[in-house]
Amino acid sequence: MQLVIEHLSKTYPNGTHALKDVTLTIPQGMFGLLGPNGAGKSTLMRTLATLQEPDTGSVRLGDIDVLRDKDAVRRTLGYLPQEFGVYPKVSAEELLDHFAVLKGIIDRKQRRELVQALLQQTNLYDARRKHLGGFSGGMRQRFGIAVALLGNPKLIIVDEPTAGLDPAERVRFLNLLSELGENSVVILSTHIVEDVSELCSRMAIINQGEILLEAEPLAAIEQVRGRVWKRLIDREALPVFEQEHRVISTRLFAGRTVIHVASDAQPGPEFEPVDASLEDVYFTVMRGRLPTEEAVATA
């Protein structure tokens, strides 16, 4: 089963073009949707989750018309939005059982076994009787995944799931997500490059409602390999370097600035080659540099 999105567009009443002719084919497995805040990621996720309507376009999940047969989509959908509420004085076990009833799982024995299995899968079984108000951020996210997994969904959407998590919780959560892509289409919407780099076999970069790149992360990295260079400079010299070179990113290091520059050849004797990463791909695409979609597609 795959998710096919064709020519999806959405303009809000205030004139914001949230989606501009978005076309994507998303296969089974982990798919990363990468972009900055305000890029259109959440609008696309809410549309796929049947929570809002686009202006134009079509979406199909296997044989299901996502935009016209919302009930069929919801029966096979698991959705973890960027922000979701819980009842703080209810235990994880009780609330998950309640959501299972809402999902149509009526048989009590079947429901109990399912709830226990999901709490085990999300590593929350030992905290099953703890009130959700006492959960950490990572525990709350894992509970959200347990809810999303009710009903054995074939489409799972997670929107900015690791934002605000500490490093240990982030690793636990990413390990859990990696297991889910074995049997479902899993869309990870995030602005964190590392999440996509570590998890996803395919990805797209979106900005201002447009898909700028769709590729396999490793293929995209190959396109910038040998074409990104770095140099340590004084912070006040940055404007000069931005005029003379195609600077794609900057970061502070020991009070000075490290710049990454896109260039087919060494820009100067003090520049060193960079071991290319998905972050370099992201910044080259966001800055309108290389690689292009066509270059990656033909690699």
Sign of CA dihedral 46, 51, 54, 59: positive
Burial of 244 (0-12, 13-18, 19+ CB in 10 A): exposed
Question: CA neighbours within 13 Å on the CB side: how many for 275?
Answer: 0
Measured in whole angstroms, how far is the alpha carbon of residue 25 from the centre of its chain?
Answer: 15
C-alpha 80/C-alpha 122 separation (Å) is 14
So what's the pLDDT on residue 297?
41
Residues 49, 189 share a domain: yes
CATH code of residue 77: 3.40.50.300
Tell me if the bond preceding 13 is cis, omega within 30° of 0: no
**Domain termination residue (choose one: 164, 194, 215):** 215
- What is the full DSSP assignment across 201-243? SEEEEEETTEEEEEE-HHHHHHHHTTSEEEEEE-GGGHHHHHH
Q: Note whether 104 and 155 are same-domain residues.
A: yes
pTM for the model: 0.85
The number of distinct structural domains making up the chain is 2
Location of structure tokens 């084919």: 25
Q: What integer pLDDT is reported at residue 289 of this predicted model?
A: 54
Judge if 77 and 178 occupy the same domain: yes
Domain boundary among 191, 215, 239: 215
* Residue in 171, 193, 188, 214 with CA at minimum distance from that of residue 29: 188
Answer for the pair 214, 24: CB distance below 8 angstroms, yes or no.
yes
- What's the rounded Cα separation, in Å, for the pair 125 and 217? 35
Do both 268 and 141 map to the same domain? no
Same domain, 149 and 7: yes
Tell me the residue range of the domain where 170 lies. Answer: 3-215
**How many other CB atoms are there within 10 angstroms of residue 293's CB atom?**
16
Instruction: Round to whole Å and give the CA distance between 213 and 193.
Output: 14
Query: Looking at 195, 215, 235, which one is the last position of a domain?
Result: 215
- Which residues of the chain have a pLDDT value below 50? 290-299
Q: What is the 3-state secondary structure (H, E, C) of 71-140?
A: HHHHHCEEEECCCCCCCCCCEHHHHHHHHHHHCCCCCHHHHHHHHHHHHHHCCCHHHCCCEHHHCCHHHH
